[in-house]
Amino acid sequence: MLNKKIRTVVVFGCIAAIFAAVGYWNISPERFLDRPAVKVQENDIDWYATNTHTLQYLPDGKVQYEMTSDKVDHVKASEITLVTKPDLNMFRGTEFPWHVQSERAEVNPDGTEVELIDSVRIARTDEKNRTTIITSSRMTVFPQREYAQTEQPVRIDGAGGVSTGTGMKAYLKESRIHLLSNVRGQYEAR
């Protein structure tokens, strides 16, 4: 009889210990099922903004640039910012800004390099009311250095004529432009 009591106490003790362990560790059948791991996709957007307007000032209080766009998407994995329809005026503290436009743009994480994509147009009217327009299909702009470059075909309208070429280096601060190859020009005689 004592054996039967001990056996019953041991069996109920084991069952109580199992229930205590299950409650303690919160073991549930769902924990043993396979769950797909959450992966960050290459193009996952972690934030976006629409109808943006940005003003950046120089240390002396003059406007460095003003930009508007239809939409801005930030890619989580690469930290690249995608801009739709960027429209940028680079004042550089002067009254005569470079007006930069394109269909799309990609901005690197620290904002030092902007890749303009599709229907790129850079224009400026100087103090003598002379207009220069640079067009290309793709161009890289370095806003802090006031420099732009491309390896694509380029067209420059201005100074009484049209110049075309493949590849360009543009020093926007000095208004100096170098076409790299296949240069052709057509100018009006005065």
Task: Report pTM.
Answer: 0.72
Distant-in-sequence, close-in-space partners of 190: CB < 8 Å, separation ≥ 6: 160
Question: What does the pLDDT look like over 62-99, one tens digit per residue?
Answer: 887 888 899 999 888 888 889 999 998 887 667 788 89
pLDDT at 115: 92
Q: Is the pLDDT reported for residue 10 higher than 70? A: no
Share of the chain above pLDDT 70, in %: 77
Q: If DSSP codes are grouped into helix, strand and coil, which group holds residue 186?
A: strand
N-to-C CA span, the chain: 126
